Structure 1
Amino acid sequence: MSKNRQVVLTEGPILKALIALALPIMATSFLNTFYSITDMAWIGMLGSRAVAGVGVGGMYVWLSQGLSALAKMGGQVNVAQALGRGRRDEAGQYACSAVQLTVIFAVIFAAVCTLFTDELIALFHVGDAETVRYAVVYTRITCGLVIFSYLTFVLTGIYTAQGDSKTPLVANFLGLFVNVVLDPLLILGVGPFPRLEVVGAAIATVLAQFIVMTVLVLGVIRDGKKNVLSECYLFRPSEKKYYQGIFRIGVPTALQSTAYCAISMVLTRMVADFGPAAVAVQRVGGQVEALSWNTADGFAASINAFSAQNYGAGKMDRIRNGYWIAFRTIAAWGCLIMALFFIFPEPLSEIFFHEAEAIQISVSYFLIIGISEAFMSVELMTIGALSGLGRTRLCSIISIVFTGSRIPFAMALAITPLGLDGIWWAMSLTSVVKGIIFTIVFHRITHNGRS
């Protein structure tokens, strides 16, 4: 990578290196958050049924990320560790293998979702015909063309592993611009554009993802041999050991991502028993919560690359110091979002909802979920650090066990006078527990010198 884009992660001041890599990633996360919130705000003008339909369809887009997470995490960690060891050719092989697997996964998932859309949406037992119609069309478009988001996700990970977070920032900015312009034009029908409603939202999303992917691919061409993907040939298989290396690191992350989504789908089905407004609140609340989630995830990507490269270079003290710097930063941000949810729950709700019932449900959501924001941020950042050390299996076990506990916990609380609020409490309190446990685990592993 050229000097003005690459951040040296294995030498020099730790804080400077982390900030230089993290700021563009965090800016990218903010762009993605802004995009999601803007999308929901425009869709919200169509009513809570449209929001609920997009929320249900979006669950399968989220579910699909388990496959892309396998290639992304497996590729990113192995590329960064290989670069830390000074083995650039090896890093290139891992990167190319990750891209090849991504294309295969995207084609398979798109085929399944396109052929069985009605059956997949029926699993939620939504009950409202209009909501189902919105969910079906949104799923067919976004999942059928999921290859664009898949490649964007994996290419971003490979850029980050090399210490370049600026190129993904530029790509996502252009994608956001396209989406912000197209959303009102295609959803509501402005000027010569037809009113496509949810179809328009799906088209705008897919086109934006295509733009981001294209910019990232052009970045590889621009960089030439300075990019580890410069000599990648899509239809030339890599050696078996590279695929095995990606699966070894990536499978636990994929299982964790898929399990988390599956658990959320079960919870969404429980929420659906309380009506379309409740489903809409869960969907919108998740998008607003992305103010902390996406930021923490962006910082997690930074500490992941930092930990992986320094692990490859054998610098454990540097990893420990970097983690605690990141911990203080992300915990402070989580507390800020928590304060936002506590102080302004009603104004936040009124941005997206115009029905009294939905606003009331949304206010309760923000007040309860707000308790967990700092803990959730620390959890995601710590998963990034541990994954950089190759401990994806441990992260998967902890995450699946405690996230899975939300289901019985929510079932028990939902039949009490808490009702729907009981489900929100189950989600919030388990996030608190996970944040504490992951912090303790990282301290013990790095304190004992194991990885």
Structure 2
Amino acid sequence: MKKTDLTKGDIRKILLSLAIPIMGSSFLQMIYGLVDMYWVGKIGSDAVAAVGTASFFVNLGYAINAMIVVGAGIKLSHAIGAKDLEKTKEYIVAAYTINFLMALSIISIIVIFSKDLVKFFNLSSDVERMAQVYLVVTGIGLIFKFFNFLYSRILNSYGESKIPFKINSVGVALNIILDPIFIFIFDWGVFGAALATILAEGVNTILFVKKSKEYFKVDSYISKNYEAMKEMIRLGSPIAIQRVLFTIFGIVMAKIISRWGADAIAAQKIGLQIESITFMTIAGLQGAIGSVIGQNYGAGLKDRIKEGYKTAMSMATLIGIFTTVMFLIIPETIVKIFVQKPETIKIAVDYMKIIGVSQLFMCYEIVTNGAFSGIGKPKLPSIISVIFTSLRIPLAFFLSREEYLGLNGVWISIALSSIVKGIVSPLVFRKNLK
């Protein structure tokens, strides 16, 4: 088995070599959605609404899949760090098995109940029809997406992040080529967009299977090691629950914001799009520190765990300060890239200035979450995150009252919760290290 040994060498160089490709892969995943939305937008607003509606349920599938992907990543990095080849193989095969069963279950639910799921939003019959088509096709394609997520996490655990980036680049390029062909030349509409996406993901899966053989080979793809499966589910469940709850919290916050009309909704969407650049960047560092700490935890190298976390937090500080300065100094310049309407620009600029104050703390929280995964304790950051994120809702209701801060009260509630999470999570992690 081939692997990159993360228990030796300069930690700063290791973190950068791991983080940069992971960042690239994160950006590529974002591009997938942007490409689909760009071409579907050429069809019309109904098509956009249909894709957006269907994507909600697909994203829930991704959130649930984190249960396996995160759990497998933790156990594998520990086994690899301990140089236990047999345990490594056992966890890989167990992850294959439970990942396949999960994909099959979710696909079955989506296909059988697709009509009922899209009806939940009370859309027009044309939108519902397109949403159902898109949901069924992309739902079936979850089998590829689930295994692509898993292969990426397994390879990251081996200290390899360049291969997932290269493979995802192929998928994005293929999707960019196929989307306009299927949507317009073949005149398949949203069905064409969905089909282009799952074909690109299918090609990615084939490439992952081929390239992964350079790192590990297994004798069987079916496991009866129920204890390994149970352990991975136990470790990954907090993250999965957290992501599902965040989806629900997001819906409630969007409902509050909608009281100020379409300009407020548009402004938040633009702000989130800009903020996602920070999130994607720091997510690369999160994945890197999780793998580094995971291997060193498995090898019992406590000093390298502390050094790795300290180094990652220093890098997070630089990223956080840079984005904070950008958000506070030139928010209007950035917003005007996306929109020209004065009312929307004003709201979006307020959003960026308020949220900008919390960027550094968001970076601290995300990096610390990766460190928690590395030591096999993902439950703690999930509890912290769910508690303080849920508090945004009552705080937003209170602060956004007209006699107080109005719409800016919603942005302040989001910023405050991020600041608190960015303070509490590192304190709890350092306590666990002691």
Q: Distance in 1 between matches of 2:30 and 2:129?
A: 26
Q: Distance in 1 between matches of 2:384 and 2:72?
A: 22
Q: CA deviation at 1:315?
A: 0.9
Structure 1 gaps of 5+ residues are none
> CA–CA distance in 2 between the matches of 1:357 and 1:138?
34
State the identity %. Answer: 34
Q: What stretches of structure 2 of length at least 5 have no aligned partner?
A: none
Q: Find the counterpart in structure 2 of residue 389 from structure 1.
A: 375
Report the AA paired with residue 419 of structure 2: V
Give the C-alpha shift of residue 403 in structure 1.
1.3
Matching of residue 100 in structure 1 with residue 111 in structure 2? no
Q: Quick check: 1:194 aligned with 2:187?
A: yes
Partners of 1:289 and 1:432 in 2: CA distance: 15
C-alpha displacement of 1:62: 2.3
Alignment length, in residue pairs?
Answer: 433
**Alpha-carbon offset, residue 277 of structure 1:** 5.9
1:207 paired residue number: 199
Compared CA separation, residues 145 and 137, structure 1 to 2 (3 A): same
1:429 alignment partner AA: L
The farther-off stretch of 422-431 and 409-418 is 409-418
Change (3 A) 1:200 1:345: farther
Corresponding residue of 2:6: 9
After TM superposition, give the deviation of residue 360 of structure 1 in Å. Answer: 5.2
Q: 1:78 aligns with which of 60, 66, 75?
A: 75
The residue aligned with 2:54 is 57
Of the candidates 148, 173, 177, which is equivalent to residue 173 of structure 2? 177
User: TM-score, normalized by length of structure 1?
Assistant: 0.85
Q: Write the distance in 2 (CA, Å) between the matches of 1:36 and 1:289.
A: 16
Partner deviation per Cα, 1:415-444 (whole Å, 9 max, x = no partner): 436554443332232122111111211222
Distance 1:415 1:43, change over 3 A: farther
Q: What is residue 305 of structure 2 aligned with on the other side?
A: 319
Q: Which amino acid aligns with 1:81?
A: H
Q: Which amino acid aligns with 1:194?
A: D
Distance 1:162 1:410 in 2: 43
Instruction: Find the residue that maps to 1:28 and give its secondary structure.
Output: helix
Residue 426 (structure 1) aligned with residue 419 (structure 2): no
Q: Letter of the aligned partner of 1:141 in structure 2?
A: V
**Contact (CA 8 Å) 1:81, 1:308: kept in 2 or not?**
yes
What CA distance in whole angstroms lies between the structure 2 residues aligned with 1:362 and 1:56?
24
Change (3 A) 1:65 1:143: same
Tell me what 1:217 maps to: 209
TM-score, reference length from structure 2: 0.88
Query: Residue 107 of structure 2 aligns with which residue?
Result: 110
Aligned partners of 2:389 and 2:417 also within 8 Å: yes
Q: 1:441 aligns with which of 424, 428, 431?
A: 428
**Aligned partners of 1:258, 1:174: CA distance in 2, in Å?**
29
Pair 1:388–1:99, CA change in 2 (3 A): same
Q: Which moved more, 1:39-48 or 1:10-19?
A: 39-48
Quote the residue 1:233 is aligned against. Answer: 220
> Could you tell me how far 1:351 is from its partner in structure 2?
4.6
Q: How far does residue 273 in structure 1 lie from its aligned partner after superposition? A: 5.1
- Residues 367 and 111 of structure 1: CA distance in aligned 2, closer, same or farther (over 3 Å): farther
What does residue 67 of structure 1 align with? 64
Rounded Cα–Cα distance in structure 2 between residues aligned with 1:177 and 1:320: 40
Distance 1:178 1:237, change over 3 A: same
Quote the Cα distance in structure 2 between the aligned partners of 1:339 and 1:38: 30
CA 1:435 to 1:94, structure 2 compared with 1: closer, same or farther past 3 Å?
same
Q: Which moved more, 1:404-413 or 1:272-281?
A: 272-281
Which stretch shifts more, 38-47 or 22-31? 38-47
301-310 vs 281-290, which moves further: 281-290
| CA-CA distance at 1:13 after TM superposition | 1.8
Pick closer, same or farther for the CA change 1:362–1:145 going to 2, 3 Å.
farther
**For each residue in 1:254-281, what CA deviation from the matched residue of structure 2 results, as whole angstroms up to 9, or x when unmatched?**
2222222222233234445555665555
Distance 1:179 1:108, change over 3 A: same
**Can you list the C-alpha shifts for 1:196-228, whole angstroms capped at 9, x where unaligned?**
2x544433333332232221112124x1xx41x
Counterpart code for 1:256? Q
2:112, 2:308 → 1: CA distance?
Answer: 47
Contact kept? 1:24, 1:165, Cα under 8 Å: yes
Task: State whether structure 2 residue 398 is matched by structure 1 residue 412.
Answer: yes
List per-residue Cα deviations over 1:349-385 (Å, max 9, x = no partner). Answer: 4555576665555444434333332222221111010
Of 384, 387, 390, the residue aligned with 1:398 is 384
Cα distance change, pair 272–50 in 1 and its aligned pair in 2 (3 A): farther
Hey, what's the Cα distance between the residues in 2 that align with 1:253 and 1:391? 11
Q: What SS class does the counterpart of residue 16 from structure 2 fall into? A: helix
Counterpart of 2:279 (choices 286, 293, 302) is: 293
Worse overlay, 162-171 or 176-185: 176-185
Q: Give secondary structure in 1 for the equivalent of 2:358.
A: helix
Q: CA deviation at 1:38?
A: 4.5
Q: 1 CA distance for matches of 2:41 and 2:340?
A: 8
Work out which of the residue numbers 5, 18, 22 in structure 2 matches 1:21. 18
State the partner residue of 1:158. Answer: 154
Shift of 1:147: 1.9
RMSD: 3.0
Any conservation in 1 of the 2:141–2:201 contact (CA below 8 Å)? no
Partner of 1:380: 366
Aligned residue for 1:116, secondary structure, equals: helix
